[in-house]
Amino acid sequence: MMIAAVGDTGYNIVLILHILTAMAAFAPAFAHPFLSEQSKSLDSANQSKLLGFIAANGRRIYAPALIVTGLLGFGLAGMSDSVFKMSQGWLMAAAVVWIAMNGVLHAIVLPSERKWADGDSAAEQKVMIGGITITVLLLVMLYLMIFKPGL
């Protein structure tokens, strides 16, 4: 029994939630480079406090939003009846990209943000590299979601 089909109200509600959680998950990709540059003008105590907020928000907001975004995407595929199937190449590629994003976020970015907030200046480079990697993966994901190659 299907809950909704592509274009139905239930499907569209899940689609809106999918897009909103993606916006929340990727907000730091746009905001954090500016914040980290601006934080350099702060004294070390305030800079550490700001970096601590960034690290905490990564664990409380951005990481869960990225996870929920993917789960909602799987839900959309399941709700689409025969229109979209997980066996389609673009959807399988999107799942792999989502897993890679989570890997980079949880293995590199989040631990490095905590270290950077604790004063480890070498961690800044890892945060930047991880952020760039996630941004590139986001661009790949957007390509897959918009153009659905092979469909």
The answer to whether residues 125 and 147 touch, using CB atoms and an 8 Å cutoff, is: no
**φ, ψ for residue 126, nearest 5 deg:** -65, -40
CA-based nearest residue to 122, from 106, 111, 132: 111
- Give pLDDT tens digits for 33-48: 899 889 889 999 999 9
- Give pLDDT tens digits for 52-108: 999 999 999 999 999 999 999 999 999 987 788 888 999 999 999 999 999 999 999
Instruction: For residue 132, name the pLDDT band (cuts at 50, 70, 90).
Output: very high
Kindly tell me if the per-residue pLDDT of 2 is higher than 70: no
Kindly tell me if the per-residue pLDDT of 127 is higher than 80: yes
Sign of the CA dihedral running 88, 73, 27, 32: negative
Say what the pTM is: 0.91
CA-based nearest residue to 115, from 49, 27, 29, 55: 55
| CA gap 22, 135 in Å, rounded | 12
**φ, ψ for residue 138, nearest 5 deg:** -60, -40
| CA gap 55, 47 in Å, rounded | 12
Kindly tell me if the per-residue pLDDT of 18 is higher than 90: yes
Q: Which two tokens stand for residue 106?
A: 């949880």
| Residue-range domain boundaries for the chain | 9-147
